[in-house]
């Protein structure tokens, strides 16, 4: 993956409004321009905020973290937010707060990052991998129910909880999946690492289940570099996560060192070292101020890709919710490269790389790893939908700093790399 980190602002990026094959330097004239897969753009406001905190004399968890928590909770419509060091540790803390029995089964998608299943293991629970729809890349009610039935056929307890993944920014139907698993929403944790900007019919992802866990990693829609957030409407869950993120201590240093504060504190139960710093929070607050225009730009880029790749044989466009049933956050623009494209996924990725266009695969299914095959992620079993999806999926460059020229370069390269490319279309406006 190529990640650039450039100065400037989103408004300085030239968004050319021309036909996708009619752009000088797009590749159609024999030249090519580098197109990074991701761009960890830190806004001027966020840089200024970080400098202000660095000069303040207090850089660890304090007032900036509290302000970021309030602002992010408001943004997603949740009552509470807890800032942590990563989405992964957020999932672990949220699961710990559910007070499940040791080694209780927890359902989750096999098409997710390995950190999500490690969070289940680190919480002392047992992951159960669920197959996915080879079109959406996410579990269905049928595959969810099948995974639960498999547990019962083996004489094991039914699933005690579930981690639902909003993959690529596409909203999962959390209530429907919970129903299929036989679980109340209070036993569901949402993996919202891709879901800053995702909406369900009920509103933004962030307050519909026991908890939702977001990522602020360098490639995400709200990039800080590292960091995460837990959101919830459950005051007791929020309290537990706040305390557990710093060793289980009853008071953090910010509260102990305030004028009139006491050095005394208690440790109610063992916790983690997972507290966000004020420097990270200040960056996050500055970035959050830009999230709406950045999300609009992501949607514009997805529309350009749709127009440029529609009808290209063997290239399936990303799934998105039907009108009125949610909003895709466009964290990823993930096509599927099928047999009638005249190529395969790996060959297309190599062809784009040869033209300095970054791509990625989301994800290697968990059951394909050595850990998955060995039983560390639950007893292995066939997951054919995920196998098919994993062979086809390819994420194209998508971030708010891409210009229309960048997008045109990618589209032309995809056409050129497939046997379906028609030279007669070169230079045609769409």
* Token reading at 98: 């559910």
Q: Tell me the C-alpha distance between 150 and 157, whole Å.
A: 10
Q: Tell me the C-alpha distance between 174 and 164, whole Å.
A: 7
Give the closest residue to 118 by CA, choosing from 87, 159, 143.
Answer: 87
What backbone phi and psi angles, to 5 degrees, belong to 82?
-130, 115
* Token reading at 85: 């060091």
Q: Tell me the C-alpha distance between 345 and 348, whole Å.
A: 5
b vs e for 25-35, b when ≥16 Cβ sit within 10 Å of the residue's Cβ? Answer: ebbbeeebbeb
Residues 6 or more apart whose CB falls under 8 angstroms from that of 321 comprise: 170, 171, 327, 328
What backbone phi and psi angles, to 5 degrees, belong to 23?
-125, 120
Question: Where is 309: in which H helix or E strand?
Answer: helix 291-309
Sign of CA dihedral 62, 68, 70, 76: negative
Give the closest residue to 236 by CA, choosing from 90, 119, 97.
Answer: 97
94 burial class (0-12, 13-18, 19+ CB within 10 angstroms)? Answer: buried
Q: Tell me the C-alpha distance between 379 and 128, whole Å.
A: 8
- The strand ranges marked E within 185-324 are 188-191, 199-200, 203-204, 211-215, 228-232, 315-316
220 is an active site residue: yes
Let me know: does 230 contact 94? Beta carbons within 8 Å: yes
Q: Tell me the C-alpha distance between 79 and 233, whole Å.
A: 5
Let me know: does 107 contact 159? Beta carbons within 8 Å: yes
Q: Please state, in angstroms and as integers, the Cα–Cα distance from residue 240 to each residue in 95, 168, 188, 198, following that order.
A: 11, 29, 16, 26
Let me know: does 309 contact 414? Beta carbons within 8 Å: yes
**Which of 96, 187, 220, 320 is labelled catalytic?**
220
Active site residues: 220
């Amino acid at each position: 993956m190529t990640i650039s980190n450039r100065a400037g602002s989103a408004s300085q990026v030239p968004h050319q409004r021309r036909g996708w094959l009619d752009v000088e330097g797009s590749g159609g004239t024999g030249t090519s321009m580098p197109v990074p897969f991701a761009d960890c753009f830190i806004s001027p406001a966020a840089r200024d905020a970080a400098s202000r905190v660095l000069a303040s004399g207090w850089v660890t968890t304090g007032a900036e973290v509290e302000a970021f928590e309030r602002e992010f909770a408001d943004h997603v419509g949740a009552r509470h937010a807890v800032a942590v060091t990563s989405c992964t540790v957020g999932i672990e803390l949220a699961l710990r707060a559910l007070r499940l029995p040791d080694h209780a089964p927890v359902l989750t998608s096999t098409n997710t990052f390995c950190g999500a299943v490690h969070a289940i293991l680190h919480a002392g629970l047992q992951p159960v991998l669920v197959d996915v729809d080879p079109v959406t890349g996410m579990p269905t009610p049928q595959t969810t129910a099948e995974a639960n039935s498999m547990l019962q056929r083996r004489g094991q307890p039914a699933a005690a909880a579930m981690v639902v993944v909003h993959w690529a920014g596409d909203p999962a139907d959390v209530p429907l999946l919970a129903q299929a698993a036989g679980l109340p929403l209070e036993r569901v944790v949402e993996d919202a690492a891709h879901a800053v900007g995702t909406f369900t019919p009920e509103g933004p992802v962030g307050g519909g289940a026991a908890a939702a866990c977001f990522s602020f990693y360098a490639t995400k829609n709200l990039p800080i570099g590292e960091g995460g957030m837990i959101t919830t409407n459950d005051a007791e869950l929020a309290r537990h996560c706040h305390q557990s993120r710093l060793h289980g201590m009853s008071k953090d240093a910010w509260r102990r060192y305030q004028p009139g504060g006491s050095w005394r504190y208690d440790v109610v139960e063992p916790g983690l070292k997972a507290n966000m710093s004020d420097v990270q929070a200040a960056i996050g607050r500055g970035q959050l101020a830009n999230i709406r225009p950045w999300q609009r730009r992501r949607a514009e880029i997805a529309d350009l890709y749709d127009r440029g790749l529609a009808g290209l044989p063997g290239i399936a466009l990303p799934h998105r919710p039907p009108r009125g049933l949610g909003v895709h956050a466009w964290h990823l623009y993930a096509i599927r490269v099928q047999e009638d494209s005249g190529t395969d996924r790996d060959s297309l990725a190599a062809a784009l790389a040869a033209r300095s266009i970054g791509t990625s695969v989301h994800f290697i299914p968990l059951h394909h790893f050595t850990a998955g095959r060995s039983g560390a992620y639950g007893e292995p079993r066939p997951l054919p939908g995920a196998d098919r999806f994993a062979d086809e999926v390819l994420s194209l460059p998508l971030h708010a700093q891409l210009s229309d020229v960048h997008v045109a370069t990618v589209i032309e390269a995809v056409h050129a790399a497939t046997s379906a490319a028609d030279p007669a279309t070169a230079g045609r406006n769409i």
